[in-house]
Structure 1
Amino acid sequence: MEPYENIVIGNFLYSLGLTVGQESHGSVRTMCVNLMQQTPLDESLGDLMVSNTGVTRLLEFKRKKNDSIKEETKREVLSRALGADQHMLTISREIHWYIETSEEEGVFVSRAVPYIDFVDETVPATTIERFTSSVAKDAVSKVIDEATRASYKAYLALVSVSHGGLQGSSGGLLINLSREQGLRYVLVPDIRDLLLDHSLVREAYFGRVQQQSMELERGHALRSCQLSLKKSIDRGFDYEW
């Protein structure tokens, strides 16, 4: 029996983490990996968004035997919204992907293609393994320039509008790994903030957490100093008595 989408997504995320770790040399970049499946953002964006300074991918996972026409309808509406805008079509084929999985005679089969093209069986496809490796390499080695990032943001806004707008929202998590502090998760109240420039996101959220940590340490130090002073005063009173 072929695995459900959430099983495939879980293994994709694990494999992506392993591959990013293998590709990285030195410190690992801040990475935003957020599963939107069965959240308010699922319908308006997709199942999963992966993003950092080198890569942005919006992913939809489906089993081949799922005969629902919902995804084909969403694709058709998006296609009409894109029209003949070649720049946005290029952006779409770069960052928005459809991953279809199936089982054939006990063998796991996968097909990864640009979302806008998934109904066309003649479009060249890759496997989930190769796709994962490609995403990891971009996440580790590429740097997205400001103009391209602005195009990504505009495309994701177009996707959400074509799918009925962002109905509600969801919190997200930033993940950072460093030799000094190890693994850290930081809450982002609105997942849409992850579409911002990642240097700004990191400064805004990790900087805030670091500042809160420093303030907490200062509070502990102040209380410790006050306690020591009180003990000294008490000892002084005892001596005079």
Structure 2
Amino acid sequence: MEPYENIVIGNFLYSLGLTVGQESQGSVRPMCVNLMQQTPLDERLGDVMVANTGVTRLIEFKRKKNDSIKEETKREVLSRALGTDKHMLAISREIHWYIETSEAEGAFVSTVVPYIDFVDETVPATTIERFTSSVAKDAVSKVIDEATRASYEAYLALVSVSHGGLQGASGGLLINLSQEHGLRYVLVPDIRDLLLDHSLVREAYFERVQQQAMELKREHAVRSRQLSLKKSIDHDYEHEW
């Protein structure tokens, strides 16, 4: 029996983390990996969004056995919104992906194509393993320039608008792993902030959290000195008696 979408998504996210770890040399960049399935953002954007300074991917997962026409309808609406804009079509094929999974003679089968092309059976496809490896390499080694990131943001905005806009909100999480601080999760109140330039995200969230940690450390040091001084005074007082 083929696995349900949430099982595939969970294993994809785990595999992506493993692959990013293997590809990284030294500290790992902050990365946004958010599962939007069954949240208010699912209908407007997709199942999963992965983003950092080197990569942005919006991914939709579907089992081949699922005969719902929901995705075909969404793709058609998006196609009309893109029209003949060659630049936005190229951006779409770079960052927006469709992963279909199935079972064949007891084996797991995956087909990965650009979302805008998933109804075209002649489009070259890759596998979820190769796709995961490609995303991880970009996340570790690439750097997205400002003009490209602006195009990504414009495309994601177009996707959401074509599907009715981002009504409602959902928080997100930033993840950072470093030798100095280990693994850290930082809450982002609105997942749309994850579309910002990640140097700004780092400044707005991780550096703020680091500053808060330093302030707590200073407060703890002051309390420790006060307690030590009190013990010293009490000890001197006892000896006087």
Q: TM over 0.5: same fold?
A: yes
Q: Indicate the SS of the match to 1:97.
A: strand
Q: Indicate the residue corresponding to 2:178 in structure 1.
A: 178
In 1: Cα distance, 2:7 partner to 2:235 partner: 65
Q: CA deviation at 1:239?
A: 4.4
What does residue 83 of structure 2 align with?
Answer: 83
In the aligned structure 1, how far is the partner of 2:190 from the partner of 2:41? 11
SS at match of 2:61: strand
Give structure 2 stretches of 5+ with no counterpart: none
- Taking the aligned partners of 1:9 and 1:40, their CA distance within structure 2 comes to 18
User: What is the Cα deviation at residue 55 of structure 1?
Assistant: 0.5
Distance of 1:63 and 1:160 partners within structure 2: 23
Alignment-derived partner of residue 210 in structure 1: 210
Could you tell me which residue of structure 2 aligns to residue 132 of structure 1? 132
Q: Aligned partners of 2:45, 2:18: CA distance in 1, in Å?
A: 26
CA distances 1:116-165 after superposition (whole Å, capped 9, x unpaired): 11111111111111111111111111110000000000100110111111
CA distance in 2, matches of 1:211, 1:18: 29
Read off the aligned partner of 1:226 and give its amino acid letter: Q
Is 1:21 equivalent to 2:21 in the alignment?
Answer: yes
C-alpha deviation, 1:203, in angstroms: 1.5
* TM-score (ref. length: structure 2): 0.96
Q: Partner letter of residue 85 of structure 2?
A: D
Distance 1:233 1:125 in 2: 76
Aligned to 2:42: 42
1:123 lines up with 2:138 in the alignment: no
Counterpart in the other structure of 1:162: 162
Q: CA deviation at 1:170?
A: 1.1
> Once superposed, which parts of structure 1, at least 4 consecutive aligned residues long, lie more than 4 Å away?
none
The separation in 1 between residues aligned to 2:112 and 2:85, in whole angstroms, is: 23
Shift of residue 59, structure 1, vs aligned partner: 0.1
- Inter-partner Cα distance in structure 2 for 1:232 and 1:27: 43
Residues 195-235 of structure 1 deviation map (CA, whole Å, 9 limit, x = unaligned): 11111111211111111111111111111222222233334
Q: What letter is aligned with 1:35?
A: L
Q: Does 1:234 align with 2:234?
A: yes
2:121 is the counterpart of 1:105: no
**Structure 1 CA distance for aligned equivalents of residues 238 and 17 of structure 2:** 61
- Counterpart Cα distance in 2 of 1:180 and 1:228: 29
Contiguous gaps of at least 5 residues in structure 1: none
CA distance, structure 1, for counterparts of residue 233 and residue 108 of structure 2: 74
Say which SS state the counterpart of residue 30 (structure 1) adopts.
Answer: strand
Identity %: 88
Q: 1:236: how far off?
A: 4.1
2:11 corresponds to 1:11? yes
Once residues 131 and 183 of structure 1 are traced to their aligned partners in structure 2, the CA distance between those partners, rounded to angstroms, is 25
Distance 1:162 1:235 in 2: 73
Map 1:53-64 → 2, pairs under 5 A: 53-64=53-64
Output the CA distance in 2 between the equivalents of 1:100 and 1:240: 81
